[in-house]
Every structure is written in structure tokens, then in C-alpha cells.
């Protein structure tokens, strides 16, 4: 993926296995969000292949990606702030091109612990709660692959721990596959089954959290020699 003379993704290749939580880490500008934008077809890559269950996604328009089973959150919150929490979730269901009633949407809010906030305006909620609303909206599309772009950004330590438990629970309860972009290394290493590492648009390592943590290239490029979390 090129932007003028900048190669944002340079021969990046990785798999996300069904049922796993796969971490995607790297310094700022490494290409992580660009990868998400390619996967969801917001960007058309300059070359390469993109497949879901062995079928190409490159010919799939962005508005059809959700119907193929992929939903995402965004690094910067993109809630409909003048809508209620419940209305935001219903919009997520509409993106799938299928009718979902209020009962189903409320059940999703139950899952994320927000049913009691259903009729509050999204803009009035604390930042951490808004993050959960965005995940609920993505879940309303009933994805098989959920892309989470820095869901822990702006959360405190306790909220990050709660988020990790929450991601594990929805993965198990909903038989999801999760691709997680995150800078909180303690979160990534605790909940990921597999981790891919990008640096300057290239993949420099992948493996289990323990393997990635011990990789010299990763330590040099991102984690830091004294990374012990």
C-alpha cells in the first residue's frame, strides 16, 4: 500500500486463524491502521491479495465487507453522538443489511454491560463506556472477524484489565476471531494467541506472545530492552 512515495505496507503477509485473538503491534506509523483500512476495503492496495476463507476480498466494495462477516472499531471514536446508545447499536445491525429488532440490540447491550445506558445519548457517556458502545455496535453486525483498533486507548489500568477479560469472553461466547491493534503490551501479551509485529510497513516477527517478547528485532524496534510487562 503506497501513498505517493511512502510505502505504508511493504510485502506484509500474515494469517489470522479462526477462533484466535491475533495481535498486530508496532510503533506509531508502522502500518497497523493502514492494514485495517485495507482489510475493510477503505483503501485499495496497490498489489497483493486479501482473502477471507480462501475467497478474495479485493473485489468486495467497502459497504459489502460487513456482509462478508467483518466488523471493526476505530482508533478514534466514531460514534453517532446525537443518537442514543441503543440507536448506535441498531445502526451497526443495519450495516449488515438485515433487520435487527430492539430486543436483539438490547441483548447485545446486556452482553457488554450497558443495557441500563440504552437510552442515554452516546456523547454524554464517559470515554471508556463509549469504547464499549463502539464494540457493541460492531457486534450488532454479527461478524465472524472483529477488528479492534486500539480499544484500550485512553483507559486506565483497571479498565484495561476489564477490557481484556471482556474481549476474551465475547470471543468465546460468540465464536469470534479477533484481530487486535493495541499499544498496551500487557493487554496484547495476556489475551493474544498469536502476535504479528510491523515496523516501517514491514513484518519483522510473528509467533506466540512469549516468542515475540523474546525476539531481538522486536525488542530493538518496539518493546525496548527493559520491557518486562
- Domain positions in the chain are 1-69+145-229, 79-142
Task: Tell me the pLDDT tens digit for each residue of 95-153.
Answer: 666 556 788 889 999 988 899 999 999 999 988 889 899 999 999 989 999 999 999 98
**Where residue 75 falls among pLDDT bands split at 50, 70, 90?**
confident
**Where residue 10 falls among pLDDT bands split at 50, 70, 90?**
very high
pLDDT for the residue 94? 78
Provide the mean pLDDT of the chain.
90
Closest CA to 25 of 215, 147, 199: 199
C-alpha to C-alpha distance for 223 and 100, rounded to whole angstroms? 43
Calculate the CA 51 to chain-centre distance: 17
Statement: residue 63 has pLDDT above 90? no
C-alpha cell at 15: 494469517
Phi, psi angles (nearest 5°) of residue 3:
-125, 95
> Does residue 226 or residue 38 have the better pLDDT?
38
Q: What CATH topology corresponds to 1-69+145-229?
A: Rossmann fold (3.40.50)
Task: Tell me the pLDDT tens digit for each residue of 159-193.
Answer: 899 999 999 999 999 999 999 999 999 999 999 99
Phi, psi angles (nearest 5°) of residue 180:
-115, 120
Amino acid at each position: 500500500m503506497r501513498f505517493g512515495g511512502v510505502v505504508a505496507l511493504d510485502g506484509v503477509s500474515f494469517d489470522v486463524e479462526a477462533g484466535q485473538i491475533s495481535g498486530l503491534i508496532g510503533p506509531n506509523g508502522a502500518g497497523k491502521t493502514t492494514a485495517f483500512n485495507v482489510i475493510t476495503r477503505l483503501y485499495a492496495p496497490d498489489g497483493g491479495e486479501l482473502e477471507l476463507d480462501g475467497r478474495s476480498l479485493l473485489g468486495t466494495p467497502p459497504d459489502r465487507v460487513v456482509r462478508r462477516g467483518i466488523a471493526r472499531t476505530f482508533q478514534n471514536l466514531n460514534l453517532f453522538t446525537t443518537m442514543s446508545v441503543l440507536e448506535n447499536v441498531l445502526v451497526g445491525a443495519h450495516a449488515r443489511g438485515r433487520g435487527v429488532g430492539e430486543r436483539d440490540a438490547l441483548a447485545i447491550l446486556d452482553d457488554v454491560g450497558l443495557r441500563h445506558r440504552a437510552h442515554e445519548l452516546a456523547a454524554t457517556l464517559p470515554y471508556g463506556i463509549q469504547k464499549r458502545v463502539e464494540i457493541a455496535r460492531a457486534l450488532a453486525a454479527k461478524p465472524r472477524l472483529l477488528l479492534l483498533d486500539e480499544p484500550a486507548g485512553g483507559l486506565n489500568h483497571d479498565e484495561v484489565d476489564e477490557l481484556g477479560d471482556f474481549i476474551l469472553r465475547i470471543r468465546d461466547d460468540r465464536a469470534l476471531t479477533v484481530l487486535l491493534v493495541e499499544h498496551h503490551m500487557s493487554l496484547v501479551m495476556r489475551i493474544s494467541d498469536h502476535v504479528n509485529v510491523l515496523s516501517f510497513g514491514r513484518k519483522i516477527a510473528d509467533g506466540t506472545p512469549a516468542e515475540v517478547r523474546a525476539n531481538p528485532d522486536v525488542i530493538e524496534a518496539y518493546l525496548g530492552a527493559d520491557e518486562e510487562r
